[in-house]
Chain A
């Protein structure tokens, strides 16, 4: 395997949003009209044309003033990807050797299954094109030995990219060096993600960061239980009626039983 991981060291992020711009540039995504909401987070949320967003969380300090927490938010590229389990079109959501989970927009039918099962609320539906969009981990760059556009542009070195094992080791070393509440986020759920964080604060401090994410139970019930059971039910009914016919036989009007 040639698995890669993007490591986002939140403690080094200066919120310059260079990665947001680089993502738009590489993927030829248009700028969007936005609104002033009294925060630097802009646009307010991920959109079909914003696959990468630096989120700003303000924490009021007891001694007055605020502390900023920044988090670059984009698809986590789950090893066990709920979106891929749910997608009804074969090959529409696929995984590359590096571990990128990519939507083939050509094949997407806009059913929004992926939108509603993603544990990280990542994919975004575009009502104009009737398709869904999200970060591709720059699969069209990393397949050629380059690193993702956002990682390439990151000045302070908050976004890095490399072989999976190496990045995981680096993440733990960095969290240890930071001390306090610092944690590593990503390798312990959904069989490991190909985007990981080093977080100086507890997970719950960051906007929209899922605590203990997992593939939703409903996806297992739907795809791994009811789906095969539907074939079983129809098969059992066919077999049952067949044996009814040859053992008990049909009910003929001409036989008694007024």
Chain B
């Protein structure tokens, strides 16, 4: 897409594609996973020829896709998320101005402290979901161990479920203009000034491209 006037590029094609693969596979995992966990949602198996068996198999295969997609996410976002600086600590003290009125929210780079924390939690639970999921699929460990993998996998559902709803809200209704970071990639300068002031200065000074 040609660069629209007065807008700036907030994310690369690579970032946006990875984001959609990650989101799509994750949503699929949630839906099929819930279809397995709740008998009341087992009607979901009717959407798959082959019923529960295929639904489970697809859950497993899409789990692998999710797992690989997250590796690309690490490449795309790891360097901007896997650390906290002084501003981030100050950001947490006022909760980024999201919960009460704050005079001045500490400046963020490409990602604010909350987004960084979200990514770190996702990293941890990516590891847990992959580690447990694969050995639930191929249970090579003794029963006494395998039965605890089910518990950990379900714990991941609890944590990721809550986090992803909040992530969705903050990426859409909660922060108007933000969705285009995942859409066509272009945001307004006003948006960038508000949400990524340090990043905007770096981009305008030519210290980084996106």
Contact = CB atoms under 8 A, between A and B. Distances in A.
Interface stretch (A24-32, A65-73, A174-182, A230-238): A230-238
A134 to B, nearest CB: 14
Interface string B182-210: 00000010110111010000000000000
A184 interface: no
A113 B146 CA distance: 9
Summarize B's interface: helix, strand, loop or mixed. helix
Given A109-B53, A222-B154, A250 B173 contact: yes
Nearest to B35: A88
Interface in A213-229: 216, 218-219, 221-222, 226-227, 229
A116 B147 contact: yes
B181 interface: no
Interface residues of B, number: 44
Given A111-B56, A250-B175, A237 B37 contact: no
A100 interface: no
Contacts of A237: 161-163, 165-166, 169
B131 interface: no
Contact of A251 (B98, B148, B157): B98
B42 A226 contact: no
B158 A233 contact: yes
Nearest to A239: B165
A218 B146 CA distance: 10
A109 B56 contact: yes
B4 interface: no
Given A113-B150, A117-B143, A237-B166, A248 B105 contact: no
B174 A227 contact: no
B121 interface: no
Contacts of B161: 230, 233-234, 237
Interface string B127-152: 00000000010010001001110110
Interface of A: 86, 88-90, 107, 109-113, 115-118, 121, 130, 216, 218-219, 221-222, 226-227, 229-230, 233-234, 236-238, 240-241, 244-245, 248, 250-255, 257-258
Interface of B: 36-39, 42, 52-53, 56, 97-99, 104-105, 136, 139, 143, 146-148, 150-151, 154-155, 157-159, 161-163, 165-166, 169, 173-177, 188, 190-191, 193-195, 197
A-B pairs with lowest CB-CB distance, top 9 = A237-B165, A241-B169, A226-B154, A233-B162, A253-B190, A88-B36, A116-B143, A116-B146, A234-B161
